[in-house]
Structure 1
Amino acid sequence: MRIFHSDEHRGHAGAKEMRYDELIPMCESPDRIDTILAALREQGHRDVMQASRFDLAPVLRVHTPGFVDFLQRCWPLWEAEFGPRGFATAYMFGMRGMDQVPNGSVHSMLSCYTFDVCVPFVAGTWAAIRSAVDVTLSAAQHVADGADAAFALCRPPGHHASADLAGGYCYVNNAAVAAQKLLDGGASRIAILDVDYHHGNGTQSIFYDRDDVLYASLHATPEREYPFLLGYARETGKGRGEGFNFNQPLPLGTRIDAYRPALATALARVRAHAPDVLVVSLGVDSYIRDPVGGFALESDDFPTIGADIAALGLPTLFVMEGGYAIAELGVNTANVITGFAQARG
């Protein structure tokens, strides 16, 4: 399987995040990519390519122009006000009853276009966002050209980002951009399988009223876990999209003996959708010792997940999402890719 990546993500570093009652260094950091690449190579995956450069047209097929403009301008506006150090984040968020139309102030933009304090901006954030898009679109193009599978090893992740909101470490929804690009390139139907520990509220929102993209997610129950407000089983789509959104919230502490049957149910829904390409939002924060997770999957469980996905026999695009247990992150991610590749032969 060909792996695409870019070193331009490295500048998105050095900020901090709020974790309930403390300010801590960002878990979503550049060393995530380093440890994954090292583990992939250790397991024999050596077909690694630098991403090609794409323009913003595919991003604007998914995200609003005002939001994309904000992503580009946020840090320069912040730096002009506060100088080159520190990081930009919102002081408040637009809520019901407030005028939520951003003005020229970077503070109003942050309030309108972000929904939590886990999407800080530094000088290298926009370049990293662009690199994640380039990595994902390069991998998508490889699959569109006839490859059986490809892995977009991108950061920052994307599945929490909706058409005009960033949050949860996510700025642009890489998987959604890839799905739309594949449709624009001639695919009739796409399925997105999200195996990140957290619900992909952004991906759900983008495709919620559409029947050409099935969104199927396995994630922690939102009563107990981020993003709290979305990810319930009752959310099944609306209008033409009714029945094309499939959530399987699972209890904290879920182990492979319960996770695998839920995955089988999601895969059955994917098979029934008969997509031209399967996009997998690959998060491995379901690992038992992940600092932001609450499931109990072990490293040895991840090859099985990869093999189960491979059994669909579909052209498959893996897009990197979460996973923050740095010591085991590389092995866990590589185990999914190896399990998939070995099952495909």
Structure 2
Amino acid sequence: MTPDWTWHGGALEAAKRHFGTGDRPWLDLSTGINPHRWPGSDTIAIDWHRLPEREALADLEAAAAAHFGTAPHYVCAVPGSEIGLRLVGQIIGGSAHYVAPSYRTHGEIFAKMIPVGRSEAKDTEGTLLLANPNNPDGCLTDTGQLQARKGWLLVDEAFADCTRAISAAPKVSDDARLILFRSFGKFFGLAGVRLGFVVGPPVLLDPLRALLGAWPVSAAAIAIGTAAYRDRRWIEAMRAQLDHEAVTLDTVLLRHGLAATGDCPLFRLIETDNARGLFERLAHAAILTRPFADQPRWLRLGLPGSDEALARLAGALAHG
């Protein structure tokens, strides 16, 4: 199976080349990105002529901080949470443990990465990195128990927007050795904006800002992100909608003998002996899902996003 499909989701062009489904439109369920993007991005005027103003960046970080539940001086905007992860790894340095299985990039952040199971994490010393909710299985971790460890605790909260109560953002402080990573594009359905945030104490954010330089994110990211984070009505309505659509997806999967063994409002993880065959069957129907090279029985599916797309998935599952 080509690495393009097992490294990250979204390798749509590679799938088109390999499976050759002609002009048929593809349904991309491989990424875990909200299929319903925040609608305000189409109406915001972007000043492409000027460099982003420092005050506008501060306003974005304040809007994000209010959404996360922390103070603005603990929030630093970055051009995507993955870049934030990699830069923080450079700043802290040394080796680290990371909870596996998880987001594949986690194994590349530090000079030496040592995988541990979730039950072993609390007994490690030094830097520990995990995702909460976890990707790809959606498992939740009580990060409060892990803060008693010796060393930095790094928590990738890329999918935390779907359920506000799970975030550790209110626990970030000057004294806590706690760093969070937040993604804008997944929940707001605007991954192409390339916007993320590092949430942590100034002792970490000050050198991070020095690495990022004067204009860390684009004028478009600032304008769209600021407005989206302040759209409380849309955020609350979308959380409820995603929960409903995820349950509806569960019903379709169960109808075809596929129960979710891992879940998050933005995706479902199924486990089956024929995961590779199912991936290829769906791909021949121009439906891209997410397989895993190191877990051949796993397949992750994002939300279809419409009744038509859900019916298309159900039809492909039925004709196996």
The TM-score with structure 2 as length reference comes to 0.30
Which structure has the larger Rg over C-alpha atoms? 2
Which protein has greater RCO, CA pairs closer than 8 Å, 6+ apart? 2
Question: Which structure shows the bigger proportion of residues in helix conformation?
Answer: 2
